[in-house]
Amino acid sequence: MTRPINEDGYELWLRYRRIANAEVLKRCRRQLTSIVPLGERSPGSSVLANATLAAAVAELRVGLSGLLGRDLPLGDDPSRAGALLVGRSGAAEFEEFQRPSGPAGAPLDAPGKDGFWITRSLQEPSRIAISGASDAGVLYGAFQLLRLLQTGDDLGAVSQAGAPRLALRVLNHWDNLDRTVERGYAGFSLWDWQKLPDHRDPRYTEYARACASLGINGSVLTNVNANSLVLTDPWIEKVAALAEVFRPYGLKVYLTARFSAPIEIDGLATADPQDPDVRDWWRRRVDGIYRKIPDFGGFVVKANSEGQPGPQNYGRSHAEGANLLADALAEHGGVLMWRAFVYDHEVPDDRAKQAFDEFTPLDGSFRSNVLVQVKNGPIDFMPREPHHPLFGAMPKTPLLLELQLTQEYLGCATHLAYLAPMFKECLDTDTGAAGPGSTVARVIDGSLHGHELTGMCAVTNIGTDRNWCGHPFAAANWYAFGRLAWDPALSSQAIAEEWLRMTFSNDTRFVQGAAQIMLDSREAVVDYMTPLGLHHQMAVSHHYGPGPWVSEGRPDWTSTYYHRADAQGIGFDRTASGSAAVAQYFEPLRSQYGKLETCPEPLLLWFHHVSWDHELASGKSLWEELCQAYQRGVDAVRTFQRGWAALEQWVDEARFAHVSDLLRIQEQEARWWRDACVQYFQTFSRRPLPVGYEPASKSLEELRALRHYYVPGINNPYVARTAKPKKASPRSEKRS
């Protein structure tokens, strides 16, 4: 078997290579002989007038031609054998196509907004129709049909309907206007502001295509630590150019709004939400944006958090702040996503409690076009957290789940960490808010409390790296987010296998081997970074590598605040005897988490301060289990290395080497985490390492002395040891 030719990952999961299985290929070639677009044509032309339908047809043309290994022509005879009909579901040509049947043979009905059917003709089964409830639905159906073929289906029995479970499926780019990306590990921002609006990089279109292929329908272009400049006219022109590129793909643009923008842009004296001039300013500014971008999505706001300005600067609540902007957006149909990730500049007894305490009293006081945007866990995108207690606790308010794809706390773009299992862990958790079955998924899909405005968003891991996300496996997280936002019920394994088949190979041996690595990968990171419920143990500021000893500065930004290790034991007591954060959860979780005996071990040290000698389910002491978890994490990475090596024949040399290189780095860094944490915690436990434990290659002192500069994703300069007196500052006019 010859090795596949080199790829650089740019095509993501939309590679459309010829179907490898000769039998399947033959059947598909017979099945598909022409594409017949249904819909209004542009005057005097055969091109579809609707840009979204045109994009769907173009994608099918390119995709099917690639998959079939020969040009698939456009046709105009919908009754011809092998015709693939494509259009809005109202078209008369679709009448003879059967609707797909449900599990019990019952007909499946219209799948709702932006849904699609892929069905076969009752009269001539070689004819297939993709019909959509909307233009976007047609596009999503087109991508679904392509996905079926890409993953090995021959369409012999195709009959299905699909529709997104959530209304808003949004990517958040933490991109700054200078093209740096906060927590970006895959190069720099895609948005080349300097050349916009005049030059539109073809990559913008590729980005929109990839998003549409997953059903993602919104893109927040700018960092939540916002810059008001983007709201000024010259920048809105640039944003409008991106919106125009994205529009055919059903992708709306959103911006982050800095609460103090009226002051910064136009010199207003205040940004108080009750000030009439301020209300007027936002209304005019938003009107101006919609004049340029009629389908502008809306704003995301981070306010009164980590130094960002907000309504509390003026003694107003988060609801008053949110409603100010929501009112300005409402008449244009825009939505406002107000982040619940807030914490006071005064250090609380437990940071985990703050969002809940601040937001639950506001339930019911937000405008109907506001979503409160809540991270999956109460701290901050840790490798493992319990679900955020706000889920289920604000029944009158739509909650938007915020996930993080960029691996701020999971090894940047150098560690292989497939995050779907982490996302699923949150989505599938039963909050108990309205009795059994009150899962986070049902909170955010609106079914639990009856909301129409629903959504999921994720901080992207996308940058200018040729393969988009840095690590060749990191695009799987973009993919998984899109698929879960479409349907939170999909399994991690199914998503991983889809992605692997589309990204690498349909060979079952490859798919099984690689999926195993993916499915085990997040737990490995938990093990070598923060096992048993530990959290927030990374180095200061850039969060790269271990820093369990970090104890200086604001307490709730330190590691010692979170691990609380002492001679007796380790862990954050969040029971009634401690911060009582556990009381924010509904029963039965409240009791389960609150008792040492019933608390799940993966969350043990999140909720309890536990004695080093406490016996765990295995019969081993906490100390032994802790040491073994760190070692297990390292061993897992070595297993990934061996597993990957065994897959060499199915992967091109370039991507194979890239992953191998990064796994080598991951193995080094897993050891670094293990050696730093175990040796550091040993200074408290004063207990020996378990028998057979792999010796550390560096002492604790050596590891503590390591300094890392210019870690991507944050401005992190090297500070010269000896400050020299400076000449008159040359930085503003350096010529070199």
* Minimum gap (Å) between residue 662 Cβ and a second copy: 6
* 228 scored as a contact of a second copy (CB under 8 A): yes
Q: What angle do CA 216, 218, 219 make, to 5 degrees?
A: 110
CA–CA separation, 623 vs 626, rounded Å?
5
**Which of 135, 154, 385, 408 is labelled catalytic?**
408
- Determine the Cα–Cα distance for residues 592 and 22; give it in Å rounded to an integer: 55
Name the active-site residue from 380, 385, 507, 667.
380
Q: Taking the complex as a whole, how short is the minimal distance between the CB of residue 426 and a second copy, in angstroms? A: 18
Query: How far does the chain reach from its first CA to its final CA, in angstroms?
Result: 54
Can you tell me the distance from the alpha carbon of 230 to that of 240, in angstroms, rounded to the nearest whole number?
A: 11
Q: Assess whether the previous peptide bond of 398 is cis (omega < 30° from 0).
A: no
DSSP 93: G
* 378, two tokens: 């109460």
What's the Rg (C-alpha) of the chain? 27
Q: Does 721 bind a second copy (CB under 8 A)?
A: yes
Site for a second copy in 11-40 (CB under 8 A): none
Q: How far apart are CA 585 and CA 297, in angstroms?
A: 33
Taking residues 240 to 279 in sequence order and writing x for each that binds a second copy by CB under 8 A, - otherwise, the string is --------------------x--xxx-x------------
Binders of a second copy among 520-549, rule CB under 8 A? 540-541
Q: Return the residues of window 333-372 that contact a second copy according to CB under 8 A.
A: 341, 345
Distance CA(521)–CA(536), nearest Å, equals: 19
Residue 485 tokens, joined: 């936002």
Q: Which of residues 652-681 bind a second copy (CB under 8 A)?
A: 654, 658, 661-662, 664-665, 668
Residues 6+ apart with CB under 8 A from 519: 418, 421, 492, 493, 496
686 binds a second copy (CB under 8 A): no
Q: Which residues in 175-194 contact a second copy (CB under 8 A)?
A: 177-180, 182-183, 185, 187-188, 193-194
Q: Which is nearer to a second copy, 267 or 692 (CB)?
A: 267
Q: Of the two residues 10 and 102, which places its CB atom closer to a second copy in the complex?
A: 10
Torsion-angle region of residue 462: left (phi > 0), alpha (psi -120 to 50) or beta? beta
Which of 39, 78, 87, 309 contacts a second copy by CB under 8 A? 309
- Which one among 223, 397, 439, 579 touches a second copy, defined by CB under 8 A? 223
Q: Does 586 bind a second copy (CB under 8 A)?
A: no
Q: Is 380 a catalytic residue?
A: yes
Q: How distant, in Å, are the alpha carbons of 175, 238, 423, 566, 700 from that of 490?
A: 30, 37, 11, 42, 43
Among 2, 45, 46, 736, binds a second copy (CB under 8 A): 736
In whole angstroms, the minimum distance from the beta carbon of 339 to a second copy comes to: 9
Of 617 and 729, CB closest to a second copy: 729
Q: Which residue has the tokens 């709004």?
A: 257
Q: 352 and 593 in contact (C-beta within 8 Å)?
A: no
Tally Cβ neighbours within 10 Å of residue 367: 16
Determine the Cα–Cα distance for residues 496 and 480; give it in Å rounded to an integer.
8
Q: Does the protein bind a second copy through residue 91 (CB under 8 A)?
A: no
Q: Which residues, numbered 379-398, are part of the site for a second copy (CB under 8 A)?
A: 380-381
Calculate ∠ Cα 635-513-8, nearest 5°.
Answer: 100
Kindly state the number of chain residues that form the binding site for a second copy, as judged by CB under 8 A: 79
Helices 492-503 and 508-529, interaxial angle, to 10°?
120
Footprint on residues 458-497 left by a second copy (CB under 8 A): 459, 464, 466
Closer of 315 and 730 to a second copy (Cβ) = 730
Q: Which of 30, 195, 284, 595 binds a second copy (CB under 8 A)?
A: 195
Compose the 552-581 pattern: x for residues touching a second copy by CB under 8 A, - for all others.
Answer: -xx--x------------------------
Which CB sits closer to a second copy, 554 or 595? 554
Are 6 and 654 within 8 A, CB to CB?
yes
- Catalytic residue selected from 109, 266, 280, 306: 306
| Region binding a second copy by CB under 8 A among candidate stretches 67-75, 551-559, 680-688, 693-701 | 551-559
Comparing C-alpha atoms, which of 580, 578, 610, 579 is closest to residue 597?
610
- Rounded distance, CA 734 to CA 736, Å? 6
- Burial of residue 14 (number of CB atoms within 10 Å: 0-12, 13-18, 19+): buried
**686 vs 724, which CB is nearer to a second copy?**
724
Return the number of the residue (191 or 296) whose C-beta is nearest a second copy. 191
Tell me the C-alpha distance between 181 and 405, whole Å.
Answer: 13
Question: Under DSSP, is residue 456 helix (H, G, I), strand (E, B) or coil?
Answer: strand
Does residue 588 have a cis peptide bond before it, meaning omega lies within 30 degrees of 0? yes
- Residue from 306, 331, 349, 648 in contact with a second copy (CB under 8 A): 306
For 41, the 3-state DSSP assignment is: strand
167 vs 224, beta carbon nearer a second copy: 224
Q: Active-site residue 408, yes or no?
A: yes
* Least distance in angstroms from the C-beta of 493 to a second copy: 29
Q: Under the phi-then-psi rule, with left for phi > 0, alpha for psi from -120 to 50, and beta for the rest, what region is 418?
A: beta
Output 100 or 377, the one with its CB closest to a second copy.
377
**Cis status of the peptide bond prior to 111, with omega within 30 of 0:** no
Contact region with a second copy (CB under 8 A), list: 18-26, 148-156, 174-182, 514-522: 174-182
Q: How many residues belong to the chain? A: 736
Residue 149 CB, nearest distance to a second copy (Å)? 24
Least Å distance, CB 271 to a second copy, is 9
**In what order do the strands lie in the sheet containing 116-120?**
34-37, 83-88, 128-132, 116-120, 160-162
Query: Does residue 709 bind a second copy (CB under 8 A)?
Result: yes
By beta-carbon proximity to a second copy, the closer residue of 465 and 624 is 465
Nearer to a second copy, 311 or 488 (CB): 311
- Residues 102-141, mask of contacts with a second copy (x by CB under 8 A): ----------------------------------------
439 scored as a contact of a second copy (CB under 8 A): no
Determine contact, residues 693/627, Cβ cutoff 8 Å.
yes
Of the two residues 261 and 610, which places its CB atom closer to a second copy in the complex?
261
The answer to whether 154 is a known catalytic residue is no
Span of 147-155, 581-589, 628-636, 720-728 interacting with a second copy by CB under 8 A: 720-728
Half-sphere exposure of residue 708: CA atoms within 13 angstroms, side-chain side:
17
According to CB under 8 A, which residues from 399 to 438 bind a second copy?
A: 408, 412, 414
Stretch that binds a second copy, among 94-102, 225-233, 522-530, 691-699 (CB under 8 A): 225-233
Select the residue interacting with a second copy from 43, 202, 276, 695 (CB under 8 A). 202
Q: List active site positions.
A: 306, 380, 408
